[in-house]
Amino acid sequence: MDAILERSYALKQAITDFVLDAEGDIAQALETFAAQQSRRSSNDVPQDFVIDSFICEGIGDLSPLNEFIQNSTDLSESDRLILQSWENSFVGLFAILKILPDGFELMNWLTDKHYIVKPNTPQLQEMSRLKENEIILTRIAPVTEDYWMLFSSYVQMGKLGKPKLAVAIGNFKDNYKQHIYSDAPELLEEAWQSVEHYHQEFINYFGADEITLPGYQLNKKITELQEILTQKRLEEAGIDPSKSLAEVVQEAGVGEEEIQEAVAELGADATVVSQMLKNKNPASKMMMPKVDLPAELKKAEQVTTLSHPRWGQMFLPNYSKIKNILEAEDWQSVEGVEKLIRQSLEDKSVSTFVWYRLAAQYPTQLEKVLQTVLQRPFQLETDFNSLLQEFNKPIEPDLPEIASVPLHLHNLFQEAVAEVSKSKPKGKAQKQSAKGFQ
């Protein structure tokens, strides 16, 4: 190893020992951080992943990196720069593009960005069994402008076909929401802007941020809204949706064979492919995911949809029932109150925003209902956020499902769905996975 890489790994071990040996505020913060990570993830997160994330990310105003720098008097200026750069470390789902003598060339599947990553000597020996095109989950941190270090242990996932890779990305999205576009702030910003844009279009179309309709009718209306948005996007790209593929090919100055290859690869219609060809700005190559209600919601007697510029869209079959409980004078006589309230607290689809909305509209009644259902002292003003966190509901919104996604992920999921559809016997209902970017 070169000197700066060797020093980086020595510093990594030193700060890890510092955090594990710490008492007081740091120890308490680590415990709180670990509890939060456990609530956020549907899988068991390896302990070293949690510690390494705590080192780099901290919690609240406490930064273990700063604490270590302030408490270490023997650090050189280059040491401090290395440590401070670790604030830019991130967890990623990486494809091994090339095996190098002293490391790997990796591609972050979430952002399509490439990295030269160099493990230390013991790690490199352990990773000698890895092969090109395998997928690994790990955290990397910068060392120089040219290469990065392997900051955590790795999870080997093997060579994955498109359907399994799509599921793996979906699982990553669920368990590491804060790292979806952590190395591509421009993609993250555009994704958040797409949520705000969709929210405004939702209001423009429905006339409100809350609607309640039978499931089948809601699905039809949502489909119509998406068609309107697609038409608008084509017009913004300067494309006339009424024109044939041949006409678009001629105007775009792109070979017809190239267009047909793109259509075959994407499984997309001509207008979508044309739009991508016309738009040459990589930063804007984001695709709006298709919203299709699950079968059980399509069949529901009524579904309430809430829209928010940060929390996205929520589809709630029981929202009207909850409101009826909170509006009833004798709510305790309503059948199934406790079961419905508990299910709604545990249900991920009933987000923090839904509870905030109910609390704003029915503060006194909601407080009484929760006191009774939970059978403990409870005050909405002081205990509400801690209650929501107890039921694994984040206080700040994560990037919603409705957010637009990078083109390469959209393509992957389209291709994965196509492969799954081809592999299933004809005549049987096709059920698309709810995991991943759709």
Provide the pLDDT for residue 436.
41
CA-only gyration radius of the chain, Å: 25
Answer with the one of 87, 116, 133 that is the final residue of a domain.
87
The whole-angstrom separation of Cα 107 and Cα 97 is 7
A 10 A CB-CB count for 126 gives: 12
Residues 61, 126, single domain; the answer is no
What is the distance of C-alpha 112 from the center of its chain? 15
What's the one-letter identity of residue 287?
M
Of the chain, the end-to-end C-alpha distance in Å amounts to 42
Residues 9, 61, single domain; the answer is yes
Nearest by Cα to 120 from 95, 87, 154, 96 = 154
Yes or no: say if 73 and 91 are a contact pair by the CB < 8 Å rule: no
Q: Which residue has the tokens 């039921």?
A: 391
Beta strands in 269-337 (DSSP E): 286-287, 303-308, 312-316
Q: DSSP letter at 402?
A: T
Please enumerate in sequence order all residues whose Cβ is within 8 A of that of 40, keeping only pairs 6 or more positions apart, or say none. 175, 177, 392, 394
In a domain, 358, yes or no: no
The whole-angstrom separation of Cα 416 and Cα 404 is 18
Residues 77, 137, single domain; the answer is no
Yes or no: say if 140 and 92 are a contact pair by the CB < 8 Å rule: yes
In a domain, 140, yes or no: yes
Q: Give the residue numbers spanning the domain of 63.
A: 3-87
Q: Furthest-apart CA pair in the chain: how many Å?
A: 74
What is the reported pTM? 0.82
Please enumerate in sequence order all residues whose Cβ is within 8 A of that of 105, keeping only pairs 6 or more positions apart, or say none. 96, 97, 98, 114, 115, 116, 117
389-402 b/e with 16+ CB inside 10 Å = b? eebebeeebbbbbb
Residues 75, 93, single domain; the answer is no
Residues 125, 140, single domain; the answer is yes
Provide the pLDDT for residue 240.
59
The CATH code of the domain that includes 135 is 2.40.50.140
Residues 54, 77, single domain; the answer is yes
- The CB-side HSE value for 158 (13 A sphere, CA atoms) comes to 4
Answer with the one of 179, 199, 234 that is the final residue of a domain.
179
The pairing of beta strand 113-118 with beta strand 148-150: parallel
Residues 80, 135, single domain; the answer is no
Answer with the one of 179, 197, 229 that is the final residue of a domain.
179
Task: Give 91's strand partners.
Answer: 139
Residues 65, 131, single domain; the answer is no
A 10 A CB-CB count for 83 gives: 24
Residues 42, 107, single domain; the answer is no
In a domain, 255, yes or no: no
Residues 17, 58, single domain; the answer is yes
* Residue 395, token pair as written in the block: 């206080």
Q: How far is CA 338 from CA 322, 344, 360, in A?
A: 11, 10, 21
Residues 107, 35, single domain; the answer is no
Provide the pLDDT for residue 437.
45
- Looking at the structure of the chain, the number of domains it has is 2
Q: Which residue has the tokens 């790292």?
A: 179
The whole-angstrom separation of Cα 199 and Cα 207 is 11
Q: Per residue of the chain (438 residues), what is the pLDDT tens digit? A: 689 999 999 999 999 999 999 999 999 999 999 888 877 766 677 788 899 999 999 998 899 999 999 999 899 999 999 999 999 999 999 999 999 999 999 999 999 999 999 999 888 889 999 999 999 999 999 999 999 999 999 999 999 999 999 999 999 998 888 899 999 999 999 999 999 999 999 999 999 999 999 999 999 999 999 888 888 877 765 655 555 555 655 665 555 555 555 444 444 444 455 544 444 444 346 888 888 888 999 999 999 999 999 999 999 999 999 999 999 988 888 889 999 999 999 998 899 999 999 999 999 999 999 999 999 999 999 999 999 988 989 889 999 989 999 989 988 888 888 888 777 665 544 444 434 444
Phi, psi (degrees; rounded to nearest 5) at 420: -65, -40
In a domain, 217, yes or no: no
In a domain, 96, yes or no: yes
What's the one-letter identity of residue 366?
L
Residues 7, 80, single domain; the answer is yes
Provide the pLDDT for residue 164.
94
In a domain, 125, yes or no: yes
In a domain, 398, yes or no: no
17-48 b/e with 16+ CB inside 10 Å = b? ebbeebeeebeebbeebbebbeebbeeebeee
